[in-house]
Amino acid sequence: MLIDFNEIKQIRIPGMNNGTGEMSAKIYGDEKGKIIPCTIHVGGSIGLHSHPTSDDINYILAGTGKAICDGTEEILSPGTCHICKKGSEHSIINTGGKDLVMLTVVVERLPAN
């Protein structure tokens, strides 16, 4: 399967999950999850939110920031990957003077049998 993000319209999202500022994203998704190339613009953040059914994987491509996951702070820079596992809660904050660019993959997890 090929996903051509050149064909997906970019959207701007102010105050994602009650965060600050604005982010931009191109979103592909189905019932199994989402793939989201996205940017948290300077001064912006994604507010604290939980992942009751999914893992949220955030690979940093450019910029600097921090994630706060279940109360633990993680420093984000290019080449690092922040994972918020199912059942956890997190926020992501752009702490730098440039956009925080990341590839986010949300994987829906089935309940254990």
Please write the tens of the pLDDT for every residue from 80-106: 999 999 999 999 999 999 999 999 999
Residue 113, pLDDT > 60, answer no
Q: Where do the domains of the chain lie? A: 11-108
Q: What is the pTM of this model?
A: 0.93
Q: Does domain 11-108 sit in CATH 2.60.120.10?
A: yes
- Maximum distance among all Cα pairs of the chain, rounded to whole angstroms: 47
- Return d(Cα 72, Cα 53) in angstroms, integer: 21
Helix or strand or coil: residue 96?
Answer: coil
